[in-house]
A and B are shown apart, each in its own frame.
Chain A
Amino acid sequence: MTTPAIELKGISKAFGPVQANKDINIRVMPGTIHGIIGENGAGKSTLMSILYGFYKADAGEIFINGNKTEIPDSQHAIAAGIGMVFQHFKLVENFTVLENIVLGAEDGPMLTSSLRKARAQLKQLAEDYGLNVDPDAIIENIGVGQQQRVEILKALYRKAEILILDEPTGVLTPAEADQLFRILERLKDEGKTVILITHKLREIMEITDEVSVMRRGTMVGHVATAKTSPAELAEMMVGRKVLLEVDKAPAKPGRTILEVKNLSVTDKWGVKRLKEVSLTIRAGEILGIAGVAGNGQSELLEVLGGYQKATGEVILNGEAIDLTGLHSDGQTRRSRGIAHVPEDRQAEGLIMNFTAWENMVLGYHNDPKYQKNALFMDNAAIRKDTEEKMARFDVRPPLPELTAKSFSGGNQQKIVVAREIERNPDLLLVGQPTRGVDIGAIEFIHKQIVALRDAGKAILLVSVELDEIMSLSDRIAVMFDGRIMGERDPEKTSVQELGLLMAGISGEAA
């Protein structure tokens, strides 16, 4: 039997009262792509950060190629042939690609010769693995896909034999993700060992050889990818059966809630972002907007949410909405019955340094029920309100005093969704409701959206995840280049047809 490239025995790690890893055992065979899957907060990243020497384990042993190895810091991990691509890249933004690669692996105290040597080696690596990046480009000027390549090159430049990637596709477009997978396969062909941390079942099924499943800090099982199924993995991850499909009854659309006519947005550089968009949404239906990111969906949400000026007409419940004047703001929109779960929860939905209870009233802070008197807010009432909402939306941990940033992505999103849905709006705008959210939370959020629909509300859903659009929407509109390319019935369309529309090829022409 071959020796495992990595073997971890009995790894435990606690952050204060939180046990992030409990007695973890795992073996990774050389020359394989090994997936580690688990929900957000299951302890995957912590485990790998311990392997990379970024955190120190409280207990446990690490064996590299059969030899017991101490990894007190990243220097030792690098020396042991381990490289890591973190979820949030560890790059110096205003350095060049070359400088970032050389940093910490210079071959002498003088820079010029180190850089010269690195340049030659980089060229070789780029050829060997198909990793082309301009060595003189400044990091902040290149896209995330390229930045990720720099991270991989950094590891390879340090002669990594074992490459750990933490949620590498979270920031990538589907095409970039495909490219990444080709690169990983190439690395595997060259004999490298790859550990892929993800919470996306599709990625595990597509590329890994073996998979280890983690749940709440423990390792719940190891299986060969070929011998498992997404449903089985999902059940292992969550600890119960999970519905990967949304269970919903046919829509019973009622009166028209929202009517949008010829909506256009021109940005500050004079580029038209939204071009004469018209659509209607009735009570009790979900209109899904499909499209590749950056084709006007964000602008549509921003206009309806009240923080982007536009021309055209928007009629809500039979009354026109002010699109440019004094009453064109989020506050007014909310008072008219539009709730908004924005696309970027960390930048637009929450204030990360505020507590959960403070976040729970953002945008609704003028509600009389939160006021104690003319001067003060009724913080006790807000806290109580937050506790109830957290309980109903299963936010974990259910502690109103925690800051938003201390929740996992899924729980942050639940806070935003709870805040908006609990207002019982006539129209709910939802952008990327499950981006970076784990399976259990996705299922929950989807259920809530459908429940709101069934309560006779109108929902505008924007998502770049086609699966999500297909399973949630009652009607699908596809956006391309600021226009609506067409509308389709999810029961009667196909991914292929939608894909063509998303690429700007209209159904009639195709």
Chain B
Amino acid sequence: MDFLLLLDTSVLGTTIRMATPLLLACLAGLFSERAGIFDIGLEGKMLLSAFLAAAVAYTSGNVWIGLLAGIAGSLMLSGIHGLASITFRGNQLISGVAINFFASGITVVAAQSWFGQGGRTPQISGAARFDPIIWPGALTRIRDLLQANLSTKIYSQIISGHAIIVYIALLAVPLAWWILYRTRFGLRLRAVGENPAAVDTAGISVIRLRFGAIMIAGVLCGIAGAYMSTALQAGFVREMSAGRGYIALAALIFAKWRPWQALGATLLFGYLQALALRPDIIEKAIGVKVQVQLLDALPYILTVVILAGFVGKAIPPRAGGEPYVKER
């Protein structure tokens, strides 16, 4: 048994890649929920974005146009969520669930009607895909890596070799922190999730602020979705978001609605997903063969455990889930 094997640099590199969509979605949820809007539709927004990004990237041959299309699709769903739950003060959970169902259906139908490949997009490659960025001096060939020392491995497999979106996601963490805690917008955003009446009587529009927050969430979900279909994988397949939106919500609760902790929580989930891809390493590390199905289930099991409240008291933003109505 050698538990150190579990910290294999290739697994940790994969962890970062697997964590990226979770992190982006988690930050999306963070902005939305900190403003008092529960967003169960992260999943649907990621899925629609994944499809549009892959479809448009394939058609146009340019992944950046694909990314923009993905973001636009996600923003559209955010707009619907805002219209339903902010403007018309509908139930935020129902609106979110509706978005998930809509995305789940429309992506397969549209993919089938555009490409006729059974609800998927064709494989994308070249300029239609985000390629890993190889940092100067980083090794890429497996034979070289096997002989390399630890620091070279860390540099080559953990720091180097990710798509641009991975680095954007990591930068989004300090940026989110800075926005939330160091800017006027952040102060107001946190306030509107705690007590919208305080914001309203201070002369600020609750509706504008909340729309602002869910639009940020829309952009982040759009990037997350595009990453899945154009970087993590090469094309869209049905239901490819695979519950990541919900895992992101669990991570958000785990992180108690704070950006740095969100990074930690999503890395943990990402690590479990990365491990599930390498049953060989687990077998070597703990000396027992573990069912792949069990490994695949681990992130979801952890989600259930977190949502059941086993990780200590997590106090959500106080006005979360409540449409703002001036009291009578």
Q: Mark B1-18, 1 if CB is under 8 A from A, else 0.
A: 000000000000000000
Which residues of chain B are near A108, meaning CB under 8 Å?
184
**Which of A95, A110, A114 is close to B191, meaning CB atoms less than 8 Å apart?**
A95
Does A307 belong to the interface (CB within 8 Å)? no
Interface positions, chain A 404-453, Cβ under 8 Å from B, are none
Which residues of chain A are near B202, meaning CB under 8 Å?
74, 78, 90, 103-105, 154
**Which of A55, A77, A104 is close to B188, meaning CB atoms less than 8 Å apart?**
A104
Which residues of chain B are near A77, meaning CB under 8 Å?
203
What is the interface residue range for chain B against chain A?
A: 20 to 34
Cβ-defined contact, A91 with B181, below 8 A: no
User: When A15-B328, A55-B326 are in contact, do A91 and B198 touch as well, CB less than 8 Å?
Assistant: yes
Cβ-defined contact, B195 with A106, below 8 A: no
* Interchain CA distance A114-B327 in the complex, whole Å: 30
* Interchain CA distance A86-B197 in the complex, whole Å: 11
Does A112 belong to the interface (CB within 8 Å)? yes
Cβ-defined contact, B195 with A91, below 8 A: yes
Does A73 belong to the interface (CB within 8 Å)? yes
Does A100 belong to the interface (CB within 8 Å)? yes
* Interchain CA distance A53-B203 in the complex, whole Å: 9
Which residues of chain B are near A105, meaning CB under 8 Å?
202
Does A94 belong to the interface (CB within 8 Å)? yes
**Which of A91, A102, A109 is close to B185, meaning CB atoms less than 8 Å apart?**
A109
Does A121 belong to the interface (CB within 8 Å)? no
Q: Mark B162-200, 1 if CB is under 8 A from A, else 0.
A: 000000000000000000011111111011001101111
* Interchain CA distance A101-B132 in the complex, whole Å: 48
Does A319 belong to the interface (CB within 8 Å)? no
Cβ-defined contact, B195 with A110, below 8 A: no
* Interchain CA distance A112-B201 in the complex, whole Å: 23
* Interchain CA distance A106-B199 in the complex, whole Å: 13
Does B318 belong to the interface (CB within 8 Å)? yes
**Which of A55, A103, A112 is close to B198, meaning CB atoms less than 8 Å apart?**
A103
Does B204 belong to the interface (CB within 8 Å)? yes
Does A480 belong to the interface (CB within 8 Å)? no
User: When A54-B326, A78-B203, A104-B188 are in contact, do A110 and B182 touch as well, CB less than 8 Å?
Assistant: yes
Cβ-defined contact, B201 with A90, below 8 A: yes
Q: Mark B93-115, 1 if CB is under 8 A from A, else 0.
A: 00000000000000000000000
Does A156 belong to the interface (CB within 8 Å)? no
* Interchain CA distance A76-B188 in the complex, whole Å: 18
Does A93 belong to the interface (CB within 8 Å)? yes
Does A75 belong to the interface (CB within 8 Å)? yes
Cβ-defined contact, B194 with A54, below 8 A: no
Interface positions, chain B 298-328, Cβ under 8 Å from A, are 318, 326-328
Cβ-defined contact, A111 with B186, below 8 A: yes
Interface positions, chain A 329-384, Cβ under 8 Å from B, are none
Does A52 belong to the interface (CB within 8 Å)? yes
Does A92 belong to the interface (CB within 8 Å)? yes
Does A84 belong to the interface (CB within 8 Å)? yes
**Which of A55, A91, A94, A102 is close to B187, meaning CB atoms less than 8 Å apart?**
A102
Which residues of chain A are near B203, meaning CB under 8 Å?
53, 73-78, 104
Cβ-defined contact, A95 with B185, below 8 A: no
Cβ-defined contact, A112 with B194, below 8 A: no
Interface positions, chain B 201-249, Cβ under 8 Å from A, are 201-205
* Interchain CA distance A54-B327 in the complex, whole Å: 10
Does A99 belong to the interface (CB within 8 Å)? yes
Q: Mark A82-98, 1 if CB is under 8 A from B, else 0.
A: 00101010111111000
- Chain A residue with the shortest CB-CB distance to B197: A90
Cβ-defined contact, B182 with A100, below 8 A: no
Cβ-defined contact, B184 with A95, below 8 A: no
Cβ-defined contact, B195 with A93, below 8 A: yes
A92-B190, A111-B184 known, 17 other contacts, Cβ within 8 Å = A15-B328, A54-B200, A73-B205, A74-B200, A75-B204, A86-B201, A90-B195, A91-B195, A92-B191, A95-B194, A103-B187, A103-B188, A103-B198, A104-B188, A104-B202, A104-B203, A111-B186
* Closest CB pairs A-B (n = 6): A104-B202, A75-B203, A106-B184, A74-B203, A90-B198, A90-B201
